[in-house]
């Protein structure tokens, strides 16, 4: 199994809110140092690590969403300033494609997830 590394582009969500949206771009590796959220391994068996780099202490939620839009897991976490590592064990989820959504006052990112 080989790792897939996504570079990202950070842009303002909208002029008024101050949030940042993160757009993965597998064809552009020049922005890899700006990575705010990463997930590995991917694909996986439902057990994976979510890394969230936060510039401030804040509350955040992360959700696992099926491709039909159903939220199959939802959790709120307190992020420390710096790197936050979360071990997620969801091997009970059916094999398939999902989206992991990370949402906080300063971060908004959707990451594709494959459970095999």
CATH of the domain at 84: 2.60.40.1930
Q: Which band of pLDDT confidence, cut at 50, 70 and 90, is reported for residue 5?
A: very low
- Per-residue pLDDT at 35: 52
Residue 104 lies in a domain: yes
Residue 1 lies in a domain: no
Residue 79 lies in a domain: yes
Segment 49-76, tens digit of pLDDT: 999 999 999 999 999 999 999 999 999 9
Residue 44 lies in a domain: yes
CA-CA distance, 110 to 73, in Å (whole number)? 14
Residue 37 lies in a domain: yes
- Per-residue pLDDT at 17: 53
Domain extent, residue 37, equals 7-115
- Per-residue pLDDT at 15: 52
Q: Pick the range with the lowest mean pLDDT from 11-15, 22-26, 33-37, 94-98.
A: 22-26
- Per-residue pLDDT at 34: 41
Three-state SS letters, the chain: CCCCCCEEEEEECCCCCCCEEEEEECCCCCCHHHCCEEEECCCECCEEEEEEEECCCEEEEEEEEECCCCEEEEEEEEECCEEEEEEEECCCCCCEEEEEEEECCCEEEEEEEEEC
Please tell me the pTM assigned to this model.
0.71
* Beta-ladder partners of 2: none
Q: Looking at the 3D structure of the chain, how many domains does it have?
A: 1
């Amino acid at each position: 199994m080989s790792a897939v590394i996504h570079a990202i582009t950070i842009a303002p969500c909208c002029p008024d809110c101050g949030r940042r949206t993160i757009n993965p771009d597998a064809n552009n590796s020049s922005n890899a140092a700006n990575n705010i959220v990463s997930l590995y391994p991917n694909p996986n068996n439902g057990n994976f690590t979510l890394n969230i780099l936060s510039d401030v202490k804040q509350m955040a939620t992360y959700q696992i969403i099926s491709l039909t839009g159903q939220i199959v897991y939802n959790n709120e976490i307190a992020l420390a300033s710096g790197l936050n590592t979360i071990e997620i064990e969801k091997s009970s989820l059916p094999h398939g494609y999902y989206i992991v959504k990370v949402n906080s006052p300063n971060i908004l990112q959707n990451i594709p997830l494959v459970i095999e």
